Chain A
Amino acid sequence: MSTLNPDQVTAQRLAGALGAVQRENVGDGSLIEDPSVRPPLVLNDREIGEITEIVCGYAEGRPGRWWLPIFLVTSTFVGILLVMVSYLIITGVGVWGLNNQVDWAWDITNFVFWIGIGHAGTLISAILCLFKQKWRTAVNRSAEAMTIFAVICAGMFPAIHVGRVWFIWFVFPIPNYNWIWPNFKSPLLWDVFAVSTYFTVSLLFWYMGMIPDFATLRDRADGRMRAALGEGRKRLVPDVLRGYIFGFLSLGWRNSSRHWHRYEMAYLLLAGLATPLVLSVHSIVSFDFATAILPGWHTTIFPPYFVAGAIFGGFAMVLFLLIPAREVMPGFKDLLTLHHIENMAKILLVTGMMVGFAYSMEFFIAWYGGNEYELYAFKNRATGPYWWAYWTMISCNVLSPQFFWFRRLRQNPLAVWLVALAVTCGMWFERFVIIVTSLHRAFLPGEWHMFFPTYVDILTFCGSCGLFLTCFMLFLRFLPIFPMAEVKAVMPQADTHAHH
């Protein structure tokens, strides 16, 4: 055997000459290493109807006891966010710790952070769809939901960070009697277009994907109401509401093959539309920095580096939220298997290496470029007053994914969750490092100044996390969190030729 090269081994296996590789620890049964055997995407031999029951059960049934306490906590933070934003708008941007040298700090850090979180959803939905990665069906709906919620959080920050919020409409190209258009040269304006386009397409994508599932929920509510009427009982209010709301949202979906045909086509088209957006949005966000002349910002590496970082951070957030959800929601584990988690861990490893490469290239170019201001900016990142932020970023983003070289850790949900948590923190610090450490020591030492966050900075960020999580909790509670139709399509039962 030792004389065979790996390809020969694989070939023999595929030919059935060698038996399937069995490992001692195969987890939940989705971790089959044999390339000749497709790991199951749904475990426990669920019937198609069971999938409907599981997914609709989340949206229709009572949630576990965990839901309400978490929801109360997160919605409290939404309240805090509202208070902080009102205070900011009533009083002035000075309630944050910004100053005339560090004019952006947590506000834009949070903006870029949340925009980055939003990237995993569209990547999973669009790019993995085009690449026909079937495992995406387990996570795409929730990842898309995260995209929407994250972009809402992200969009809030540029809007409230301006000095005069009531004039924010100046950034839109609205013909006005002053004949003043926005400045189309400004990357901030590109942001306006990029983020709003991204949000619109992501929302459409998310919504369109849910139409068949909405129809299922509608029909189930309808069925229950008919049954109630038949039995002479009163219709239940939730069912009535579901009937109306999902009836409206499902846009008259009747499961006809013509509907399915057009649905598939539209889905493909939207996937095609969304794919460049995955790359463009964060590239454009990175232009906010790359087109500036500040040492530490003025680098051409930013667009790919930001996109890789966004995917990295987005997947980390998906894992960070879905691994706990998997534990507390019944039947979830059958749909989101260890195989899925391992796949995403691999993506974390790859994109983590990409950002690590980008970090090192920044240093190399700063040294190789021979610009003393730029070299100083990077040396200052690692050794200046904000060294702790830089090294937090490095250890979270570059070092922590290295654990995923070990299969055991990749397949261990707790380990993956911890790394995802680290990466989520690390990606926030990455944006903080880029923004604040570059600004606080720019060209003229006479004008160097530190940035210290105020409680308003901190609570506004916590509030935005609360908003994100609150939205996600509502999503878990009321919407189909798996694409039922698509999951069914990747189940063995769907393949009538292979299935016995």
Chain B
Amino acid sequence: MSHDQCPSTRGEERPAGGRDRPDVWRSPEELADTPGFREFLEREFPAGASELDGASRREFVKLMGAGLALAGAATIPACRRPDVKILAYSREVPEEITPGEPLYYATSMPTPGGGAEGLLVRTETGRPIKVEGNPLHPSNRGKSSTWAQASILGLYDPDRLKFPRYVNPHRGLLDATWDDFNAWATDHFARFDSDGGSRLAFIVDKKTSPTRDRVRDEMLKRWPRATWLPYEPMDDGAAIAGSRLAFGSPMRELLSLDKARVIVSLDRNVLHGERGALNHASGFAAGRRPVRAGEEMNRLYVVEPGVSETGASADHRLRLAPSRITAFAAALGRAVLERTGGGGKLGEALDALHVPGRDEFRLGEADLVAAIADDLVAHRGEGVVLVGSSQPAEVHALGHALNAVLGNAGAVVSYLPMGDDEAADSLGQLRDLSARMAAGEIDTLVCMNVNPVYDAPADFEFAPRFAKVPNTITLSVGDTETVWGSTWRLNGAHYLESWSDTESLDGTIAPTQPMIAPLYGRAHSDAELIALIAGLDTHEGYELVRATWQGITRLKDERFEKLWRRSLHDGVLANSTPTPAVPDADPRAVAGAVSKLSLAAAPSENALDVVFATSHVHDGRFANYSWLQELPHAGSRVVWDNPVLLSPATAKALKLEPPEGSEDPYTAHQLPRARMGELNVGGRRITMPVWIMPGMADGCAIVHVGYGREHCGYVGTGIGFNSYSVRASDGAHTASGATLARAHGSYEIVSTQDHWSMEGRNSIVRRIDKAAWDEHGDKSPEELRDLIYAALPGHEVNLAEQLGELSHSPAPVSIYVNPLNRSTGDPNPGDEAYDTALKKDLPPAFARGPQWGMSIDLSACTGCGGCTIACQAENNIPVVGKREVAKGREMHWIRVDRYYTGDDLNDPGEVLHQPVPCMQCENAPCETVCPVNATSHGEYGTNDMVYNRCIGTRYCANNCPYKVRRFNFFDFSQTKFNGTFVGEGSLGRPRNVNFIPPRLRQKLDEIQKMRMNPDVTIRGRGVMEKCTYCIQRVNRARADIRVRDEMKSLPGIPDGMVETACQQACPSGAIEFGDLLDESSVVRSSRVNNRSYMLLGFLATRPRTTYMLRVRNPNPAVRASEDPFVAHTEGGENGADETGQSEARALFHRTTAPDGGARIALRVIGAEA
């Protein structure tokens, strides 16, 4: 760290120029002789030296109860030390702290575009290290998104702004302090008092925070003519406008998908990446996890151009370009209204629309529009029509109208009025502001937590206009392009180190409380900065929030303190959740809007629809979070990049398919390379790599935004391509008529999954249609004694296992007595066979609890990757960078495999996701082959890894059939990406830092080590690692039980006391973990369910992690259900692949001739006996 506080060397850090030339720093004349200015010049310790001004910090420490012993530089004897203000409890450990025990604090994280997630943050000796969902918060109920999980990286980002900096017109960039800014601002902003602030503008992120709203109002009282612009680059303006059209005022949509039977998504990724997605995913999953036959299931129709998590979860998925989805929506509206009595004016307006090309709206032979309309009408009040951001406002309004007509409003969907900031028309207001900036009408522009220089629509020409504004003040946590263009660059406080509050989508108010004092200097939050600028009585966040809440609750003194403490503890303000409203959609207004709708012709290769989509890095704000950069994109599984995605057929037509051919580009003889293409959107051009994604709509290109950052930090800078440069305000989400021409060069694209097909190995991800499930789901053979491992000699296998190899392969038993469990027949844990037949001198292995197991429900999994990120956070899993992922060295302990089914790469049948962690096999193939006993079996059934013992032969990974072991080929956990290489990379762009070989990278910053979980070893180079079922959590629970009197009497570890990180984060609850011997455990009940199967169970590995097969709920009008137990009938498009037939045949044979062993041999040689 460069800012050491040794007085003897301190001066060297000072910017050149300085003390002897005071008069050159004169640009704002008023400043020339203020005390603040003089102080700035004469400080002995300028940046960062006086950041801790005692009283307020002590105050918050006391109130938080965290008891962080903080001290200023003066108390530290050491001369050189990092500029970090956190110390261990050196002398007095606060009463409530047990060193080594984590403490959890409730807080909430504002989500992009408004709303919030309630969180519990785990802190270890004062360091927040892991973000978990707050079960008491109604907007996420204990779940957490990948953004919240990864936000910890923003806190410990070494590229954060660390102290204010000021661009002096004469002396250039100077280091400054908050006192300097305060002094400057006091005088500077006083100028605006005369005309009410007409030359003053604020651009802030859209945030639903009562405190910020209150501070904003206070500020606007002083400068009523100031411009206040809540801005989100990827703002869903059409949705806001659509609700305004339908209801007269902007409304938030609240979904209760658990009550829905029929869900129709028109390009809305409702299960991932939007506000409320965590609740949506859990509600959706709740309707899709049948335990017994005949249970009701919801049905999801998705019409989308790309492959989203929602599309992958759909029962029927139609790929359609966005402009055609508008036509589809119109046709659907017409069909629904026809079935519900005409629909009056709206029906007429829809009738008047000419909807060409109805043939596109077919799946197989069925008319999807009619089928969906029938289904929606049949389930009135139990369905919902959802419209996504690629659709114009009129379609959103139509969606609201349809939900009203169908009686879904009030049942599945309800509404809440939006706040002012939330409902603002970001892009429209930014256009006006940008015009005023060009006209020189703006003197001072304050940007807080926004990055318009980078992400404003290209037609605003924002960056050059921004540069012309005389005073630009930017508050930001991380480094941004806007920061680099500003005159004042203020270091913002991360939400984990500042006081604030949030209002979530459902209106619940929650506190945001700091876990730690600001790591760098006196960082301010946005509300604090506004208060400071506006000269409010206090600008301490703590006081601001309390004042706001006193206003909201109208409580004072003791009663308020009580409520305050409880709210901080619970993480929500009690009783703050408002009752949703069900406003009437105005059909006439909707009809008027719809009648103005113009339906574009279907796009073609020469006039592409372009979708600007957000991904894991959202609009670019998370681009410096390495976990999210290395999290594979939905569908394509590309990491560290944002290529233009095309369907294979479109790529072929444009001659832009990957050079190795689109059939199987990933397993070619060289690393996958993409061709470069020049994308022309309305005259703006960008040259980007082009990649194919099966299952996309033809004539459509998907471009992710948020990449190609120039000032972002060591992770995000120079990653991908800045697609904002071709995005105009009138096509902010979707543009049409774009062209894509082949350009010179090629580019390396890296994907974590190199293969798209399941290669006919249908037993990997097993599926069954609901009709077949209802037929067979409850059948259990009489002697189905082996409930946990399904197949034993003489035992029948359960339904899910009948769909795989175990139905026709010999029972997987050993010919030897296994010395570990002293059996040949591998009886179950807790099986009576243990006690009777095998009980000898010792109690058998695996017979005493707890015996850990995991069950992953493929019906519920949406493939969002939340498990991967949660695991990465919990287990200190390193990020390896693009170059290493290209070599196949990613380190994720739980990965999500993605498969497309069917034979047609361009139009695959289904998209399947399968999370794969370590299976913790009882007969683990990895254990027998390790020469040094580095991986061995624990008595609780887990396959343990002894890092200290591992010498790195990698034999275990070779012998792992699931390939879940990860090897540290380099010192991954100790390196960061900005190595010593600088200079131009290929294509004239800055060198992609992820191409720097790990061996040349720098060591990790000290600050980044603070986020490591102290309960989990950091693995060095040359060591194998893998999922441990979060054994550190298990061990902590066991210790807790041992030391707590009230729990000593418990027979084991109660179900639910231990949650693995992946299970805890999974929004749809697809992952269950617990004790298999505990009859009451959730995982046990899943394990004995007819849907449970072992992945590659025929290998006799006896995995402790099992899967539950995916149940599909197809509409019979669209495709006939398939029953794997009867000979294959003429089915719909989905299951008609050849392998499905052979699977069905094999099972059919089983029903007639039970000796499966010979049958499969006959099947192989093609002799159908």
Contact = CB atoms under 8 A, between A and B. Distances in A.
B953 A182 contact: no
Contact of A294 (B899, B930, B933, B959): B959
B1004 interface: no
Interface string A477-495: 0000000000000000000
The secondary-structure label for the interface of chain A is loop
Contacts of B958: 103-104, 292, 294, 439
Interface in A90-104: 91-95, 97-104
A448 B930 contact: no
B225 interface: no
Main secondary structure of the interface of B (DSSP, over half): loop
B887 A293 contact: no
A375 interface: yes
B305 interface: no
Contacts of A170: 931-932, 949, 951
Interface residues of B, number: 70
Given A94-B969, A183-B932, A188-B931, A444 B925 contact: no
A94 to B, nearest CB: 3
B887 A99 contact: yes
Contact of A94 (B759, B914, B998): B998
A186 B929 contact: yes
Contact of B889 (A100, A104, A384, A445): A100
B970 A92 contact: yes
Nearest to A440: B667
Indicate the member of B758, B1022, B1095 with the most A CB atoms within 10 Å: B1022
Nearest to A366: B1164
Nearest to A167: B951
Contact of B954 (A163, A375, A443): A163
B585 interface: no
A446 interface: yes
Contact of A447 (B669, B963, B998): B963
B32 interface: no
B163 interface: no
A157 to B, nearest CB: 12
Interface in A144-168: 158, 161-164, 167-168
A145 to B, nearest CB: 30
B1021 A92 contact: yes
Contacts of A188: 929-931, 953, 955
Interface stretch (B74-82, B749-757, B838-846, B1128-1136): B749-757
Interface string A286-298: 0010011110000
Contacts of B930: 183, 186, 188
B877 to A, nearest CB: 13
Nearest to A367: B1164
Contacts of B671: 450, 452
B754 A92 contact: no
Contacts of B1101: 293
Contacts of A288: 955
Contacts of B916: 444, 446-447
B261 interface: no
A1 to B, nearest CB: 51
B759 A445 contact: yes
A449 B888 contact: yes
Contact of A385 (B667, B959, B962): B667
Given A104-B954, A293-B1099, A368-B1161, A448 B967 contact: no
B952 A443 contact: no
Interface string A360-371: 000000011110
A413 interface: no
A443 B953 contact: no
Interface in B951-986: 951-955, 957-959, 961-963, 965-971
A75 to B, nearest CB: 28
Given A99-B888, A104-B954, A163-B950, A189 B931 contact: yes
A94 B932 contact: no
Contact of A182 (B670, B759, B933): B933
A187 interface: yes
A100 B957 contact: yes
A101 B888 contact: yes
Nearest to B761: A445
B897 interface: yes
B252 interface: no
Contacts of B709: none
B667 A164 contact: no
Nearest to A92: B970
A171 B755 contact: no
Interface string B867-895: 00000000000000000100111100001
Contact of A92 (B668, B755, B969, B1099): B969
A291 B929 contact: yes
B1022 A163 contact: yes
A181 interface: yes
A261 interface: no
B764 interface: yes
Contacts of B890: 100
B1023 interface: yes
A100 B966 contact: yes
A284 B215 CA distance: 77
Contacts of A445: 755, 757-759, 761, 764, 899
B1022 to A, nearest CB: 2
A446 B755 contact: yes
A376 interface: yes
Given A292-B929, A385-B668, A446-B755, A370 B1161 contact: yes
Contacts of A373: 761
A7 B670 CA distance: 60
Contact of B1021 (A163, A185, A367): A163
Given A94-B969, A293-B961, A164 B1023 contact: yes
Contacts of A99: 887-889, 969
Interface string B921-951: 0000100111111000000000000000111
Contacts of A24: none
A385 B670 CA distance: 10
B999 interface: yes
A192 interface: yes
A308 interface: no
A237 interface: no
Interface string A77-116: 0000000000000011111011111111000000000000
A104 B929 CA distance: 14
B1164 A444 contact: no
A171 B1024 CA distance: 16
Contacts of A231: none
Interface in B1000-1051: 1020-1024
B64 interface: no
Given A180-B933, A452-B671, A91 B970 contact: yes
Interface string A429-442: 00000000001011
Given A369-B1161, A445-B899, A182 B931 contact: yes
Contacts of B199: none
A171 B667 contact: no
A291 to B, nearest CB: 7
19 contacts: A93-B952, A94-B884, A94-B889, A103-B957, A161-B954, A162-B951, A163-B968, A163-B1024, A164-B1023, A171-B932, A183-B933, A188-B953, A288-B955, A292-B959, A370-B1160, A385-B667, A444-B897, A447-B753, A448-B755
Interface of A: 91-95, 97-104, 158, 161-164, 167-168, 170-171, 180-183, 185-189, 192, 288, 291-294, 367-370, 372-373, 375-376, 384-385, 439, 441-450, 452
Given A95-B999, A442-B963, A443-B761, 10 more contacts: A94-B969, A94-B970, A94-B999, A97-B887, A162-B1022, A164-B951, A171-B931, A171-B951, A183-B928, A372-B1164
The 10 closest A-B pairs by CB, nearest first: A163-B952, A163-B1022, A446-B897, A94-B969, A99-B888, A370-B1161, A103-B954, A449-B888, A188-B931, A164-B1022
